[in-house]
Amino acid sequence: MQFETKIVIAVRDDLEPWQELNITAFLMSGIVAENQIIIGQGYTDAEGNDYLAISGQPVIILSGSSNVLRNMRMRALNRAVKTAVYIEEMFETGHDKANRLVFSEHNPDEENTVGVAYIADKKIADKISKGAKLHK
């Protein structure tokens, strides 16, 4: 199946593996919250056990330097593409309210973005992610 949009999640390339996975999960939850239509139907195995539904659309995972992620964030803002963003100061908080507070204290042009995610038309998504590489 061909999709007109692309889901992109990019993480900074100098993070610990647990941080990359944590950020990816948080950011994907933001994509799903705004785009519930991407969730398919639940799954059932051969024994009749039911499982939760997951995204019906592939997700591209990228990585890049702090400069690359900042640029992605700024390009998305300039194109009015809504993003989910995680900044490094959020690693020091312990809950959602504290995350929002620390996030509100920083500007998008700072080089503290450690993760950014969005869903956009394929061509726009590719322009936003310029400079990022496929995550290894």
CATH code: domain of residue 30 = 3.40.1490.10
Q: How many separate domains does the chain show?
A: 1
Q: What is the distance between the alpha carbons of residues 76 and 85, in angstroms, rounded to a whole number?
A: 11
Range of the domain at 110: 5-134
Specify the pTM.
Answer: 0.93
CA atoms within 13 A on the CB side of 68: 18
pLDDT in tens, 31-80: 999 999 999 999 999 999 999 999 999 999 999 999 999 999 999 999 99
Pairing of strands 113-121, 5-12: antiparallel
Residue 7: name the closest of 114, 116, 90 by CA. 116
**Beta carbons of 39 and 23 less than 8 angstroms apart:** no
- Residue 44 bridge partners (DSSP): 50
Q: What is the distance between the alpha carbons of residues 28 and 59, in angstroms, rounded to a whole number?
A: 9
pLDDT in tens, 77-98: 999 999 999 999 999 998 999 9
